[in-house]
Amino acid sequence: MKILITGANGFVGSHIVEELAANNYEVICAVRKNSDLKWINNRPVKLKYGTLNDKTFLKEIISETDIVIHCAGVVRALKWDTYNDVNVTGTKNIIEAVLENNKNLKKFIFISSQAAMGPSFEDKIRKIGDIETPVSDYGKSKLLAEQEVKKLKGIVPYCILRPAAVYGPRDKDIFSFFNMVNKHIAPKTVKEHLIQLVFVRDIAKIAIKIINNPVSDNKIYYLADGKIYSWQNVADTIAVSNGIKTVSVPLFDFIFKAAGSIFEFISVIVKKPQVLNRQKITEMLQKAWVCDNSQTLKDLDFTFENLENGSKITYNWYLKNKWF
């Protein structure tokens, strides 16, 4: 079975490629010509160079595949136009290519984000079917991309995955948190902010489970390990799991807001998005990001990796690869 994956060289995409290869699928990776391929270079995959704006390229790669896993996208950008061009229009283009060139596609799997859901309100767990209220351009772009995917309904089976905050080997975002713990600092927000997490390899394993599972057709799944954490809980778990003694450092929300503004200013100066910006901080400082993963557990019969084991694997990877 031939499986096409977009964004194959990225953090999440490269882990999906690993899992596909381990399960002996024929993997086709759609990548840009200037992409950094270090995470997939030694994998038994076929590389196809092009962009999601090139209809000829899309026709070529779509017509010869059985499954599409659409993982390509931008997580941060300097302006809305970039989110729209890459996340929304890119998805629109690949959906149109499927409808025009391969209506016999067996499944279209889209890696979306919990950001498309929006934060929880009044301490209520967000469920599938709730009205989405994204608070960032990234979240809005993912929600619009999901609407493009839903155009396949009745023609090609699709499945949308909404991961919570993703961590694991190769991640650059939550790495900064691991780095602080490694320096014996446990950051703690003065106001409590609740989050959920998912280990990156679980996303890859779930994508594999969905491929031949008709129960997942035309559904949306939240991916989270099921536990609800404060940032203090996360820091403490990483520290204890890896035998690190830490000192708790309380941080007021205004410190995060100031950091977001500073990083955004730097982004403008260097003309390159930084890890943080004001919108990322706005997401981070919501009261809660809590979703219901019960449908995922029921339909896919899946057990998520717990943070204790996941953080140990991740921390040791950072150590081995000298990221600290």
pLDDT (tens digit per residue) in 131-155? 999 999 999 999 999 999 999 999 9
260: in domain: no
- What's the CATH code of the domain at 57? 3.40.50.720
* Residues 305 and 225 sit within 8 Å (Cβ to Cβ): yes
Domain for residue 37, yes or no?
Answer: yes
For 120, the domain range is 2-167+198-224+291-305
Cβ proximity of 313 and 169 under 8 Å: yes
- Looking at residue 251, its pLDDT comes to 82
- Could you report the per-residue pLDDT of 236-249, keeping only the tens digit for each? 999 999 999 999 88
**Using 50, 70 and 90 to split pLDDT, how confident is the model at 87?**
very high
- Give the C-alpha separation, 93 to 12, whole Å: 21
Q: For 175, which DSSP code?
A: H
pLDDT of residue 275: 76
Asked if pLDDT for residue 259 goes beyond 80, the answer is no
What was the pLDDT predicted at 280?
Answer: 83
Compute the mean pLDDT over every residue in the chain, rounded to the nearest whole number: 93
Burial 177-194 (b: 16+ CB within 10 A, else e): bbebbbeebbbbbeeebb
Q: What's the average model confidence in pLDDT over 265-282?
A: 79
Q: Is residue 58 part of a domain?
A: yes
Residue 154 counted as domain residue: yes
Whether 274 is in a domain gets the answer no
Are 139 and 118 contacting, i.e. CB atoms less than 8 angstroms apart? yes
Q: Taking residues 195-202, report their average pLDDT.
A: 97
| Cβ atoms of residues 116 and 130 within 8 Å | no
pLDDT at res. 117: 95
- 67 located within any domain: yes
Q: How many domains does the chain have?
A: 1
Enter the DSSP assignment of 190. S
Q: Is the pLDDT of residue 104 over 80?
A: yes
**Residue 137: CB partners within 8 Å, gap ≥ 6?**
77, 80, 83, 279
User: Are 302 and 296 in contact, with CB atoms under 8 Å apart?
Assistant: yes
At 205-225, the pLDDT tens digits run 999 999 999 999 999 999 999
Q: What angle do CA 138, 221, 116 make, to 5 degrees?
A: 15
Confirm whether 120 is domain-assigned. Answer: yes
pTM across the whole model: 0.94
User: What is the Cα–Cα distance from 169 to 192, expressed in whole angstroms?
Assistant: 27
Taking residues 281-295, what's their average pLDDT?
A: 89
The answer to the question of residue 125 being in a domain is yes
